[in-house]
């Protein structure tokens, strides 16, 4: 069964709606861990629309499982990621206009920049993941760059309807196989929810699922513990 990493960005989104103290994503992360989350993920965006710098520091101090920090390749963000003490860094594309991360990183176009920053994370003993579309060129380039993980973008699968969903699932399956064959570890995430997570969780080689919006939304109605237990059931039941 893949491990479940819970993205707490949207708890901070609600807090930032009033620029106040609550709900606190750090307290929420602790409750998610207590309910069985295997890791906590957050994305410090350049526009600070949800997670703030102080949240990353507090998460680092309080997360007991594994802290995964998503970051863009922008200079300031890389410096903050290097200082964050996160266990795992996931490099994502970032565009200020987007509502959420829209596509995978263009690993081929960003090769030179990645070659600059990757050794700095390795020196600190931080694991690095690249968030990529299920695309053979991106996967090959990620393996040449010798990152630890790729995270397969599951957005196209999540948005697909009817027979298209099977096609997208097969792309994910093929990509996970290719990546694993090239020695990469494989995570997946984006747009996964209680109804669509099962087939992705059942794919071979997927180690971690990063899920945020669906769990935070469910927790509004049933509480953190039940929202986590239900998602863990869906993931476990799929294996
Ligand atoms: N993985 C990555 C790299 C992301 O950027 C996001 C969105 O922040 C997620 C997973 C989680 O997506 P969702 O909130 O749709 O579950």
Per-residue pLDDT tens for 1-45?
999 999 999 999 999 999 999 999 999 999 999 999 999 999 999
Instruction: Tell whether pTM > 0.85.
Output: yes
pLDDT of residue 101: 67
> 146 CA to middle of ligand 1, Å?
23
Sign of CA dihedral 36, 127, 104, 93: positive
Instruction: Give me the domain span that covers residue 126.
Output: 3-238
Cis peptide before 226 (omega within 30 of 0): no
Shortest-distance atom of ligand 1 to CA 216: 14
Domain count across the chain: 1
Location of structure tokens 């476990």: 236
Which candidate, 93, 24, 32, 22, places its Cα nearest to that of 58?
24
- The number of angstroms, rounded, from the C-alpha of 6 to the middle of its chain's C-alpha atoms is 8
Shortest-distance atom of ligand 1 to CA 211: 16
As a whole number of angstroms, the distance between CA 64 and CA 45 comes to 23
pLDDT in tens, 128-177: 999 999 999 999 999 999 999 999 999 999 999 999 999 999 999 999 99
Pocket (CB within 6 angstroms of ligand 1): 7, 9, 43, 70, 90, 92, 100-101, 131, 151, 189-192, 210-214
Range 66-104 burial, b when 16+ CB lie within 10 A, else e: bbbbbbbbeeebbeebbebebbbbbbbbbeeeeeebebb
pLDDT in tens, 90-110: 999 997 676 766 789 999 999
pLDDT of residue 214: 98
Q: What is the CATH number of the domain that holds 25?
A: 3.20.20.70
């Amino acid at each position: 069964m893949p491990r479940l990493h819970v993205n707490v960005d949207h708890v901070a989104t609600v807090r930032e709606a009033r620029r106040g103290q609550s709900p606190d994503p750090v307290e929420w992360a602790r409750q998610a861990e207590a309910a069985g989350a295997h890791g906590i993920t957050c994305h410090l965006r350049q526009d600070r629309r949800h997670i703030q710098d102080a949240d990353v520091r507090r998460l680092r101090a309080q997360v007991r499982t594994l802290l995964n920090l998503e970051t863009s390749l922008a200079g300031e963000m890389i410096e903050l990621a290097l200082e964050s003490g996160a266990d795992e860094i996931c490099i994502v594309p970032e565009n200020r206009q987007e509502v959420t991360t829209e596509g995978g990183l263009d690993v081929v176009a960003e090769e030179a920049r990645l070659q600059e920053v990757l050794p700095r994370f390795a020196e600190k003993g931080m694991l690095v993941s690249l968030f990529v579309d299920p695309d053979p060129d991106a996967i090959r380039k990620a393996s040449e760059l010798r990152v630890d993980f790729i995270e397969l973008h599951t957005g196209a699968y999540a948005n697909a309807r009817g027979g298209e969903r099977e096609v997208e699932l097969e792309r994910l399956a093929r990509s996970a196989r290719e990546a694993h064959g090239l020695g990469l570890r494989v995570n997946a995430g984006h747009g996964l929810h209680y109804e669509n997570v099962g087939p992705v969780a059942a794919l071979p080689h997927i180690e971690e699922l990063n899920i945020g919006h669906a769990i935070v939304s469910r927790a509004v109605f049933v509480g953190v513990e039940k929202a986590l237990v239900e998602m863990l059931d869906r993931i476990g039941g799929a294996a």
